[in-house]
Structure 1
Amino acid sequence: CCMTFEVIAATSVCFQPSTLKGTITPEETMSEKKKALFICLGNICRSPIAEAVFLKTVADAGVAADWEVDSAAIGAWHVGKSPDHRALSTMKKHDLPYDNRARQIKKADFDKYDYIFGMDRENMSDLARLAPGAGSKAKQLLLGD
Protein backbone atom coordinates (compact mmCIF):
# COMPACT_ATOMS: atom_id res chain seq x y z
CA CYS A 1 0.00 0.00 0.00
CA CYS A 2 2.41 2.70 1.14
CA MET A 3 5.40 2.72 -1.17
CA THR A 4 6.07 6.21 0.10
CA PHE A 5 9.71 6.63 -0.82
CA GLU A 6 9.09 5.53 -4.41
CA VAL A 7 6.11 7.87 -4.78
CA ILE A 8 7.98 10.86 -3.36
CA ALA A 9 11.01 10.15 -5.55
CA ALA A 10 8.96 9.60 -8.72
CA THR A 11 6.81 12.66 -8.16
CA SER A 12 9.80 14.86 -7.37
CA VAL A 13 11.66 13.73 -10.49
CA CYS A 14 8.61 14.13 -12.75
CA PHE A 15 7.84 17.65 -11.63
CA GLN A 16 11.00 19.68 -11.39
CA PRO A 17 10.35 23.44 -11.14
CA SER A 18 12.14 24.11 -14.44
CA THR A 19 9.71 21.87 -16.32
CA LEU A 20 6.64 23.17 -14.53
CA LYS A 21 7.29 26.76 -15.53
CA GLY A 22 7.23 25.73 -19.17
CA THR A 23 4.02 23.75 -18.95
CA ILE A 24 1.72 26.74 -19.26
CA THR A 25 1.94 29.11 -22.19
CA PRO A 26 1.28 32.85 -21.74
CA GLU A 27 -2.07 32.39 -23.53
CA GLU A 28 -3.11 29.70 -21.06
CA THR A 29 -2.32 31.87 -18.04
CA MET A 30 -5.04 34.24 -19.22
CA SER A 31 -7.58 31.43 -19.51
CA GLU A 32 -7.88 28.59 -17.07
CA LYS A 33 -5.77 26.54 -14.72
CA LYS A 34 -4.17 23.27 -15.71
CA LYS A 35 -5.68 20.37 -13.79
CA ALA A 36 -3.92 17.24 -12.55
CA LEU A 37 -5.46 14.20 -10.84
CA PHE A 38 -3.42 11.47 -9.14
CA ILE A 39 -4.95 7.97 -8.96
CA CYS A 40 -4.16 4.85 -6.94
CA LEU A 41 -6.24 1.90 -5.83
CA GLY A 42 -7.64 3.30 -2.56
CA ASN A 43 -6.61 6.98 -2.42
CA ILE A 44 -5.11 6.59 1.04
CA CYS A 45 -1.38 6.14 0.32
CA ARG A 46 0.28 6.75 -3.01
CA SER A 47 -2.04 9.22 -4.72
CA PRO A 48 -2.39 11.54 -1.69
CA ILE A 49 1.42 11.61 -1.37
CA ALA A 50 1.81 12.33 -5.09
CA GLU A 51 -0.79 15.10 -4.81
CA ALA A 52 0.99 16.64 -1.82
CA VAL A 53 4.42 16.48 -3.49
CA PHE A 54 3.02 18.02 -6.67
CA LEU A 55 1.33 20.83 -4.71
CA LYS A 56 4.60 21.61 -2.91
CA THR A 57 6.56 21.48 -6.15
CA VAL A 58 4.26 23.92 -7.98
CA ALA A 59 4.25 26.20 -4.91
CA ASP A 60 8.06 26.16 -4.78
CA ALA A 61 8.16 26.91 -8.52
CA GLY A 62 5.85 29.88 -8.06
CA VAL A 63 3.14 28.43 -10.31
CA ALA A 64 0.66 27.08 -7.74
CA ALA A 65 -2.01 29.54 -8.89
CA ASP A 66 -1.82 27.96 -12.35
CA TRP A 67 -2.78 24.47 -11.14
CA GLU A 68 -5.78 22.66 -9.69
CA VAL A 69 -4.72 19.35 -8.15
CA ASP A 70 -6.59 16.44 -6.56
CA SER A 71 -6.33 12.69 -6.03
CA ALA A 72 -8.82 9.85 -6.19
CA ALA A 73 -9.21 6.08 -5.97
CA ILE A 74 -10.07 3.40 -8.46
CA GLY A 75 -12.18 1.62 -5.82
CA ALA A 76 -14.64 2.86 -3.22
CA TRP A 77 -13.29 0.98 -0.17
CA HIS A 78 -11.88 4.03 1.62
CA VAL A 79 -14.16 6.86 0.40
CA GLY A 80 -14.39 9.57 3.05
CA LYS A 81 -11.38 8.32 5.03
CA SER A 82 -8.14 10.15 5.77
CA PRO A 83 -4.91 8.80 4.29
CA ASP A 84 -3.24 5.82 5.95
CA HIS A 85 -1.26 6.76 9.07
CA ARG A 86 2.01 5.78 7.36
CA ALA A 87 1.28 8.10 4.44
CA LEU A 88 0.37 10.93 6.82
CA SER A 89 3.55 10.33 8.82
CA THR A 90 5.66 10.43 5.66
CA MET A 91 3.99 13.62 4.46
CA LYS A 92 4.50 15.24 7.86
CA LYS A 93 8.17 14.19 7.86
CA HIS A 94 8.63 15.93 4.49
CA ASP A 95 6.60 19.03 5.44
CA LEU A 96 3.81 18.17 3.02
CA PRO A 97 0.49 19.41 4.43
CA TYR A 98 -2.54 17.31 3.49
CA ASP A 99 -6.14 17.38 4.63
CA ASN A 100 -8.20 15.75 1.85
CA ARG A 101 -10.34 12.66 2.25
CA ALA A 102 -10.41 9.69 -0.11
CA ARG A 103 -12.80 9.81 -3.03
CA GLN A 104 -13.46 7.59 -6.02
CA ILE A 105 -12.75 8.70 -9.57
CA LYS A 106 -15.83 9.74 -11.57
CA LYS A 107 -16.48 9.69 -15.31
CA ALA A 108 -16.62 13.51 -15.20
CA ASP A 109 -12.97 13.58 -14.02
CA PHE A 110 -11.86 12.45 -17.48
CA ASP A 111 -13.25 15.69 -18.93
CA LYS A 112 -12.39 17.96 -16.00
CA TYR A 113 -8.67 17.17 -15.68
CA ASP A 114 -5.93 17.76 -18.23
CA TYR A 115 -3.73 15.03 -16.76
CA ILE A 116 -4.62 11.87 -14.85
CA PHE A 117 -1.60 10.09 -13.37
CA GLY A 118 -1.84 6.42 -12.41
CA MET A 119 0.59 5.13 -9.80
CA ASP A 120 1.16 1.73 -11.46
CA ARG A 121 0.32 -0.28 -14.58
CA GLU A 122 -2.76 -1.82 -12.96
CA ASN A 123 -4.08 1.69 -12.25
CA MET A 124 -3.46 2.56 -15.91
CA SER A 125 -5.39 -0.51 -17.02
CA ASP A 126 -8.25 0.42 -14.69
CA LEU A 127 -8.23 4.01 -16.00
CA ALA A 128 -8.43 2.75 -19.60
CA ARG A 129 -11.43 0.61 -18.61
CA LEU A 130 -13.17 3.46 -16.74
CA ALA A 131 -12.51 6.23 -19.28
CA PRO A 132 -15.63 7.35 -21.14
CA GLY A 133 -14.00 7.02 -24.55
CA ALA A 134 -11.84 8.69 -27.14
CA GLY A 135 -13.40 12.11 -26.62
CA SER A 136 -12.22 12.63 -23.05
CA LYS A 137 -9.97 15.60 -22.31
CA ALA A 138 -7.55 13.98 -19.85
CA LYS A 139 -4.19 12.67 -20.92
CA GLN A 140 -3.59 9.49 -18.90
CA LEU A 141 0.01 9.03 -17.78
CA LEU A 142 1.89 6.53 -15.65
CA LEU A 143 3.68 8.43 -12.89
CA GLY A 144 7.41 8.13 -13.40
CA ASP A 145 7.32 7.44 -17.15
Structure 2
Amino acid sequence: MCLGNPSPIAEAVFRKLVTDENVSDKWRIDSAATSTCEVGNPPDYRGQNRRKEHGVAVNHVAQQVPEEDLVTFDCMLCMDESSRRDWTRKGHPVNHSRATAELLGSYDPRKQLIVEDPITGMSPT
Protein backbone atom coordinates (compact mmCIF):
# COMPACT_ATOMS: atom_id res chain seq x y z
CA MET A 1 0.00 0.00 0.00
CA CYS A 2 1.22 3.46 -0.87
CA LEU A 3 0.08 6.88 -1.98
CA GLY A 4 0.38 5.81 -5.63
CA ASN A 5 3.68 4.75 -7.25
CA PRO A 6 5.70 2.03 -5.49
CA SER A 7 3.07 -0.51 -4.47
CA PRO A 8 2.18 -1.71 -8.01
CA ILE A 9 5.88 -2.44 -8.50
CA ALA A 10 6.09 -4.21 -5.14
CA GLU A 11 2.95 -6.20 -5.98
CA ALA A 12 4.38 -7.32 -9.32
CA VAL A 13 7.76 -8.26 -7.82
CA PHE A 14 6.18 -10.11 -4.89
CA ARG A 15 3.83 -11.97 -7.24
CA LYS A 16 6.84 -13.04 -9.34
CA LEU A 17 8.74 -14.18 -6.23
CA VAL A 18 5.92 -16.37 -4.90
CA THR A 19 5.28 -17.76 -8.40
CA ASP A 20 8.98 -18.58 -8.83
CA GLU A 21 8.93 -20.34 -5.43
CA ASN A 22 5.73 -22.20 -6.40
CA VAL A 23 3.81 -20.91 -3.35
CA SER A 24 1.40 -18.50 -5.07
CA ASP A 25 -1.58 -20.57 -3.89
CA LYS A 26 -0.72 -19.56 -0.30
CA TRP A 27 -0.91 -15.81 -0.96
CA ARG A 28 -3.51 -13.23 -1.98
CA ILE A 29 -1.57 -10.31 -3.36
CA ASP A 30 -2.99 -6.94 -4.31
CA SER A 31 -1.91 -3.33 -4.47
CA ALA A 32 -3.87 -0.23 -3.54
CA ALA A 33 -3.41 3.40 -2.63
CA THR A 34 -4.50 5.38 0.38
CA SER A 35 -5.54 8.32 -1.82
CA THR A 36 -7.81 8.61 -4.85
CA CYS A 37 -5.40 10.73 -6.93
CA GLU A 38 -4.37 7.88 -9.28
CA VAL A 39 -7.53 5.71 -9.27
CA GLY A 40 -8.17 4.22 -12.70
CA ASN A 41 -4.70 5.02 -14.03
CA PRO A 42 -2.08 2.48 -15.07
CA PRO A 43 1.26 2.53 -13.25
CA ASP A 44 3.66 5.30 -14.22
CA TYR A 45 5.37 4.52 -17.53
CA ARG A 46 8.81 4.76 -15.90
CA GLY A 47 7.85 2.07 -13.40
CA GLN A 48 6.48 -0.07 -16.21
CA ASN A 49 9.77 0.31 -18.08
CA ARG A 50 11.75 -0.73 -14.99
CA ARG A 51 9.63 -3.86 -14.55
CA LYS A 52 10.09 -4.80 -18.21
CA GLU A 53 13.87 -4.42 -17.83
CA HIS A 54 13.73 -7.00 -15.02
CA GLY A 55 11.22 -9.35 -16.66
CA VAL A 56 8.44 -8.64 -14.16
CA ALA A 57 4.94 -8.70 -15.64
CA VAL A 58 2.27 -6.27 -14.47
CA ASN A 59 -1.43 -5.94 -15.05
CA HIS A 60 -2.59 -3.17 -12.75
CA VAL A 61 -4.95 -0.22 -12.63
CA ALA A 62 -4.70 2.03 -9.58
CA GLN A 63 -7.37 1.59 -6.94
CA GLN A 64 -7.99 2.98 -3.49
CA VAL A 65 -7.82 0.51 -0.62
CA PRO A 66 -11.32 -1.01 -0.46
CA GLU A 67 -12.95 -1.16 2.97
CA GLU A 68 -13.42 -4.93 2.73
CA ASP A 69 -9.61 -5.31 2.77
CA LEU A 70 -9.78 -4.30 6.42
CA VAL A 71 -11.54 -7.55 7.24
CA THR A 72 -10.22 -9.93 4.57
CA PHE A 73 -6.46 -9.32 4.76
CA ASP A 74 -4.30 -10.38 7.69
CA CYS A 75 -1.50 -7.95 6.94
CA MET A 76 -1.09 -4.81 4.88
CA LEU A 77 2.46 -3.99 3.83
CA CYS A 78 3.00 -0.24 3.62
CA MET A 79 5.74 1.51 1.71
CA ASP A 80 6.20 4.28 4.25
CA GLU A 81 5.01 5.69 7.56
CA SER A 82 2.53 8.03 5.88
CA SER A 83 0.73 5.11 4.22
CA ARG A 84 0.78 3.16 7.47
CA ARG A 85 -0.77 6.10 9.36
CA ASP A 86 -3.43 6.49 6.64
CA TRP A 87 -4.22 2.77 6.83
CA THR A 88 -4.44 2.82 10.60
CA ARG A 89 -6.83 5.79 10.52
CA LYS A 90 -8.97 4.10 7.87
CA GLY A 91 -9.14 0.87 9.87
CA HIS A 92 -10.41 2.33 13.12
CA PRO A 93 -14.06 2.91 12.14
CA VAL A 94 -14.50 -0.57 10.65
CA ASN A 95 -15.79 -3.31 12.96
CA HIS A 96 -13.87 -6.57 13.02
CA SER A 97 -10.79 -5.15 11.31
CA ARG A 98 -8.14 -7.85 11.60
CA ALA A 99 -5.44 -6.54 9.28
CA THR A 100 -2.25 -5.19 10.76
CA ALA A 101 -0.22 -2.53 8.98
CA GLU A 102 3.51 -3.20 8.73
CA LEU A 103 6.30 -1.52 6.83
CA LEU A 104 7.41 -3.59 3.84
CA GLY A 105 10.96 -2.49 4.63
CA SER A 106 10.85 -4.30 7.98
CA TYR A 107 11.40 -7.48 5.93
CA ASP A 108 14.40 -6.00 4.11
CA PRO A 109 17.62 -7.78 5.15
CA ARG A 110 19.40 -4.41 4.80
CA LYS A 111 16.86 -2.91 7.26
CA GLN A 112 15.87 -0.08 4.92
CA LEU A 113 12.47 0.51 6.54
CA ILE A 114 11.10 3.07 4.10
CA VAL A 115 10.78 2.00 0.46
CA GLU A 116 12.01 4.77 -1.79
CA ASP A 117 10.00 5.64 -4.86
CA PRO A 118 11.72 3.55 -7.56
CA ILE A 119 11.06 6.22 -10.16
CA THR A 120 12.21 9.37 -8.37
CA GLY A 121 14.58 7.70 -5.91
CA MET A 122 13.04 9.79 -3.13
CA SER A 123 11.51 8.70 0.13
CA PRO A 124 7.77 9.43 0.08
CA THR A 125 7.67 10.50 3.74
Q: Tell me whether the two structures share a fold, i.e. TM-score over 0.5.
A: yes
Distance 2:82 2:35 in 1: 12
After superposition, where does 1:1-145 map in structure 2 within 5 Å? 39-42=1-4, 45-132=5-92, 135-145=96-106
Q: Which consecutive unaligned segments of at least 5 residues does structure 2 have?
A: 107-125
Greater fraction of residues in helix: 1
Cα offset for 1:82? 0.3
Q: Which consecutive unaligned segments of at least 5 residues does structure 1 have?
A: 1-38
Counterpart of 2:122 in structure 1 is none
Q: Which amino acid aligns with 2:97?
A: S
Q: Which amino acid aligns with 2:10?
A: A
Distance 2:81 2:37 in 1: 20
CA contact (8 A) 1:110 1:132 kept: no
Q: Which amino acid aligns with 1:118?
A: C
TM-score w.r.t. length of structure 1 = 0.68
Distance 1:92 1:114 in 2: 30
Distance 2:38 2:99 in 1: 24
RMSD, matched Cα: 1.3
Cα offset for 1:81? 0.6
Distance 1:68 1:128 in 2: 20
Greater fraction of residues in strand: 1
Any runs of at least 4 consecutive aligned residues in structure 1 with deviations exceeding 4 A, and if so which? none
Counterpart of 1:27 in structure 2 is none
Tell me the matched-pair count. 105
Percent identity between the two aligned chains = 38
SS of match in other structure, 2:77: strand
Distance 2:21 2:65 in 1: 28
SS of match in other structure, 2:98: coil
Distance 1:106 1:122 in 2: 18
